[in-house]
Amino acid sequence: MFFNGISDYKLSGERFAVEYRIYGNESEAYAKAKDICIEQTVEFPEELVPEGFIRDFIVGKIEYFKPYDDNSFKVKISFCIESAAGELTQLLNVIFGNISIKPEIKVENIELPQSILSLFKGPRFGREGIRKLLKIEKRPILFTALKPMGISAKDMAELAYKFALGGIDIIKDDHGISNQPFSPFEERVKLCTEAVRAANIKTGNNAIYVPNITAPYEEVMGRAEFSKKIGAGGLLISPGLSGYDIMRQIACDDNIRLPIFSHPAFQGTYVMGREGISHGVLFGQIARLAGADGTIYPNFGGRFSFTREECEDISRRTEEPMGDIKSIFPCPAGGMSLSSIPESLKVYGNDVIFLVGSGLFKNGPDIIESSRYFRDIIDKHYV
């Protein structure tokens, strides 16, 4: 009625699907499910959606609707792959754009067909690539952070040197260290890269320094390129601050070729409560799709609130089949203490990168000694 005839575009027929958990009684939840089908696609009054391929295929389709528990339902909704336009930004928009603004809907799983997966290269390194880079065949990998904010680039490099000397494999900037005047980005990257290199010569290890490149839009790529040029060993980025797509872009960039670690800053709200995105989807599926080689998140039992089950969910998503997209490392962090490592090993097995920051400092005044102790615990407990 609004159009003199809708052009009948020929869709591929392929669809991707999202599983939502929807709260409410059956009729409320079903109404929300129907609403998602409309809201995430045509955003049009249902009765006025044009007949033909738009009504039949563009509008989302409920694939199943079943009870989850007494007060919520599991609903799988499929969308035509064309709606995502081959773009990560638009794919995320179809998955959770407008309905992020509606209460009590949570994304619990994303199912992408090969035709979408093949558009995304995912991580360049993945688990295997990182193990090769660090020359660590089997054992869990040791990760720490340079802090506190306020110390100079020189002090950071000194710390990095000690960590590397003590046997830490990956030494990153704390995620809040960007380009502050007390520790400017370029000076810091130079000094820390040199420090870790010097330690490697002493130890014979292959430790890497990973600068934080979360930065203004026009500077992110330059910081990645600078880090590469100087010889840093990886990159840290917070997609909640920078957007996911820059991570994907850097992972694809053949001039950069460095492993990427994603940090959860500014994203926590998504996983809490009844709205948002589940832990496994956000820190597992989406991080991986967007090119992270390692996904950092707060471990259970630390100073954050994730449960063991939520962490297991993330871990599972880092290695579940996902087309040609590589499996990535879970990097449990967030106030992990050294004493919790044996318990965590039971959850993660060997394919894990333990990020212990404050826990190392708390262990005692001798950083090299504490780093060695961290390594000893790993060596003693992994199977």
Contact 44, 124 (CB under 8 A): no
DSSP state of 275: S
Q: Name the 3-class secondary structure at 126.
A: helix
Stretch that binds its own copies, among 227-235, 266-274, 321-329, 346-354 (CB under 8 A): 266-274
Q: Which secondary structure element, helix H or strand E, spans residue 108, and what is its range?
A: strand 105-111
Backbone φ and ψ of 166, nearest 5°: -80, -5
CB of 15 or CB of 127, closer to its own copies:
15
CB of 223 or CB of 317, closer to its own copies:
223
Q: Binder to its own copies among 17, 18, 54, 341 (CB under 8 A)?
A: 54
In the bound complex, what is the minimum distance in angstroms from residue 233's beta carbon to its own copies? Answer: 22
CB of 2 or CB of 137, closer to its own copies:
2
Q: Kindly identify the residues of this chain, within the stretch 336-365, that bind its own copies according to CB under 8 A.
A: 357-358, 361-362, 365
# residues near its own copies by CB under 8 A: 97
Q: Is 273 in the site for its own copies (CB under 8 A)?
A: yes
Q: Is 372 in the site for its own copies (CB under 8 A)?
A: no
In the bound complex, what is the minimum distance in angstroms from residue 83's beta carbon to its own copies? Answer: 6
CB of 68 or CB of 266, closer to its own copies:
266
The torsion angle over the Cα atoms of residues 259, 195, 223 and 282, rounded to 10 degrees, is 40
Q: Kindly identify the residues of this chain, within the stretch 168-187, that bind its own copies according to CB under 8 A.
A: 174-176, 178-182
Strand-pairing partners, residue 236, are 212, 261
Stretch that binds its own copies, among 26-34, 62-70, 94-102, 131-139 (CB under 8 A): 94-102
CB of 82 or CB of 350, closer to its own copies:
82
The three-point CA angle 116-221-270 to 5° equals 55
Q: Kindly identify the residues of this chain, within the stretch 228-247, that bind its own copies according to CB under 8 A.
A: 238, 240-243, 245-246
Stretch that binds its own copies, among 88-96, 109-117, 121-129, 317-325 (CB under 8 A): 88-96
Q: Is the peptide bond before 181 cis (omega within 30 degrees of 0)?
A: no
Residues in the chain: 383
Stretch that binds its own copies, among 45-53, 108-116, 130-138, 347-355 (CB under 8 A): 45-53
Q: Binder to its own copies among 25, 149, 255, 339 (CB under 8 A)?
A: 149
Q: Name the 3-class secondary structure at 49.
A: coil
> What b-and-e string marks burial along 4-20, b requiring 16 or more CB atoms within 10 Å of the CB?
eeeeeeebeeebbbbbb
CB atoms within 10 A of CB 380: 9
Q: Is 51 in the site for its own copies (CB under 8 A)?
A: no
Q: Is 71 in the site for its own copies (CB under 8 A)?
A: no
Separation between Cα atoms, residue 367 and residue 275, nearest integer Å: 41
Stretch that binds its own copies, among 21-29, 143-151, 186-194, 324-332 (CB under 8 A): 143-151
CB of 17 or CB of 277, closer to its own copies:
277
Contact 21, 74 (CB under 8 A): yes
Q: Binder to its own copies among 22, 36, 37, 58 (CB under 8 A)?
A: 58
> Could you tell me the sign of the dihedral formed by the alpha carbons of 82, 260, 276, 114, in that order?
positive
3-state secondary structure 256-271: CCCCEEECCCCCHHHH
User: Taking the mean position of all CA atoms in its chain, how far away is CA 215?
Assistant: 17
CB of 111 or CB of 174, closer to its own copies:
174
